[in-house]
Amino acid sequence: MELVKKQIMGWKIMNEILKLLHLSIEFGKVGLFSVGGGLATLPFLYHMGQRTHWFTANDVSDMIAISQSTPGPMGINMATSVGFTIAGLWGAVVAPVALTVPSIIIIIMISHALRKFQDSVLVQDIFYGLRPASVGLIVTAGISVAKGSLLDIEKYNLSKNIVNLFDYKSIILAIIIAILTKFKFNPILLIVLSAIVGIVFKFQ
């Protein structure tokens, strides 16, 4: 009986280790290829969710809202959230570390290389190519977030009525927030205001 308990415990530990390893590989790839900051990680996160079934597109939208309203970079906050959901406290540590390590290594390598080759035509061409690539990733992420936040695909699929496709309360709130942002309103106040509006009007 004692031997069986030890075997079960061993399998549980091994399963947790494999889960952490999988988590580190997935977020290591995100950190390696997501050029353009936190928003550029979103297409990779959507793809990760589809492959691993760790989270849904709606979960990503919720993580974005939480990450934007808490201190720290959005990418790190989202990695911490996913890591904690999948593997608890250790996952919350492993995921953001795996996300940032590739970037740190690449930045160190590039900084050394730029000192020697900053006037190189090839280096300039590489950066000209990376700029639109990062914009494309951010635009794709923005479209995905807008689709999840401003459209009600599920209700539309059930009714096949175009009127039910749009989440009008969310659209109105998004427009109001955009206008207030244009007039330099404090972002913290806007986040608090959005949370209060969500509670009062029961956004679904």
pLDDT tens, residue by residue, 10-61: 788 888 888 889 999 999 888 888 766 667 777 888 888 888 888 887 788 7
Rounded CA separation 204/7 (Å): 45
pLDDT band at 117 (very low <50, low <70, confident <90, very high): low
Asked if the model's pLDDT at residue 158 lies above 80, the reply is no
Rounded CA separation 10/56 (Å): 31
Rounded CA separation 177/94 (Å): 35
The pLDDT of residue 15 = 83
Closest CA to 83 of 96, 70, 71, 74: 96
Could you tell me which residues are beta bridge partners of residue 166?
151
pLDDT band at 2 (very low <50, low <70, confident <90, very high): low
Reported pTM: 0.63
Closest CA to 78 of 56, 60, 91: 60
